[in-house]
Each structure stands twice: as structure tokens, then as C-alpha cells.
Amino acid sequence: MKTNLSTKKIALAGVFTALAVVGSFISFPVAGSKCAPVQHMVNILAAVTLGPFWGIGIAFIASLLRNLLALGSLMAFPGSMVGALCCGLVYHFSRKLSLTCAAEALGTGILGGIAAYPVAVYLMGLTPAGIFVYIVPFLISTVAGSILAFLLITVLEKGGVMRELSSAH
């Protein structure tokens, strides 16, 4: 029985979303944000297996669920979604895992960190010290997640699992 490609993508997106939400239990607070490295690992897995737009969708739904379950803050939205877009586009055009991991770290850490500032001020009522205050905590989280993703994908590639997962893309 053949699996419909759309069904396979939706199922994989659901698994990645669940992994990101459950992975939120592995988080640590830094400067008012909850750093969740598993979300960044999921962003890279989604980039490699499903593509940038699926990655953004997964990041959005995971952020929404994390907030509804009080496992994250509103800053999860810009952090995870910007990183998912950056690493998804870089993988789409380069097909290089190392560049994809770097794009996730820079996209989330720098661009997502800056994008979190207005969210903190206008939606959360916080008064952060400056527009760049979230860059360091976001970088800590995303670098950890990017390293996890690099190691996991490297192991899965050696076992032939990534070839099967990537066939959904």
C-alpha cells in the first residue's frame, strides 16, 4: 500500500510538532525568555526533511501549543519562526547541513532575538534593557539545538533513516 506524500508530510509535521512541545520540558530561563533547544533541533529536522514553509508552520503550531500549555513565552513565536525560515531557505538552496545549522543559529539568535524585543514590550509588557537584550539567550538556546540537530542528523544519515524521511520533501 502506497503512502500518499501529503499524508506522510502531515504525519511527519505532527511528530515534529509534538517533539518540539514535549521538548519544551527541557528548557531554561534566560533574561525573561524560556530557552528550548529542542525547538531549534526540530527547525533543522523540518528544514532537511520537509522544507522551509513546513518548518515555519511547525514552529508556529509548536509555539502556540507551548504558550497554551504555559511551557513557553510569546517570544517563542519570533524566535522559532524566523529560525525555521532561515534554516529552511538555506537548506533548500545549499543542501549543506552545516550551513543549515549556522542559519538556524543566526536566524533565531540574531534576527529572532531582535524580533522578540517588540513582542516583549508591546505584547508582554516587559521593559527589556535594549533591542539586543534577547540575542545572547536566544543564541545559547539555538546553538545547543543546532548542535543536537547536526549530531542527530549525521547519525540518522549513516543509518539510512534520513533518506527515508527526506523522501517526504
- Whether residue 134 lies inside any domain: the answer is yes
Domain span at residue 113 reads 35-163
- 67, three cell numbers: 504558550
Let me know if 128 is exposed, middle or buried by CB neighbors in 10 A (0-12, 13-18, 19+): middle
Q: Within a domain: residue 5?
A: no
Q: Is there a domain that residue 25 lies in?
A: no
Asked if residue 30 belongs to a domain, the reply is no
Residue 115: which pLDDT band, with cuts at 50, 70 and 90? very high
The verdict on residue 104 lying in a domain is yes
Confidence of residue 107 (pLDDT cuts 50, 70, 90): very high
Residue 15 pLDDT > 60, yes or no? yes
73: CATH: 1.10.1760.20
Residue whose C-alpha cell is 519562526? 81
Q: Considering only residues 164 and 86, tell me which one the structure prediction assigns the higher pLDDT.
A: 86
Enclosing H/E stretch for 34: strand 33-35
Percent of the chain topping pLDDT 90: 76
pLDDT beyond 50 at 136: yes
Q: Quick one: 5 exposed, middle or buried, by C-beta within 10 A (0-12, 13-18, 19+)?
A: exposed
pTM as predicted: 0.91
Residue 46 domain flag:
yes
Judged by DSSP in three states, 29 sits in: strand
Long-range contacts of 128-136 (CB under 8 A, 24+ apart): 128/31, 128/32, 133/31, 134/31, 134/32, 134/33, 134/75, 134/79, 135/109, 135/110, 136/30, 136/31
Q: Which residue has the higher pLDDT, 71 or 54?
A: 54
Model confidence pLDDT, tens digit, residues 26-35: 877 776 666 7
Residue 1 has pLDDT above 70, yes or no: no
Residues 62 and 37: beta-carbon distance below 8 Å: no
Where does the pLDDT of residue 167 fall: very low under 50, low under 70, confident under 90, or very high at 90 and above?
Answer: low
Answer whether residue 126 is part of any domain: yes
Counting beta carbons within 10 angstroms of the beta carbon of residue 60, is it exposed (0 to 12), middle (13 to 18) or buried (19 or more)?
middle
Q: Work out how many domains the chain is built from and give that number.
A: 1
CA distance 53 to 106: 18
Lowest mean pLDDT among 70-74, 110-114, 148-152, 165-169: 165-169
Residue 66 maps to a domain: yes
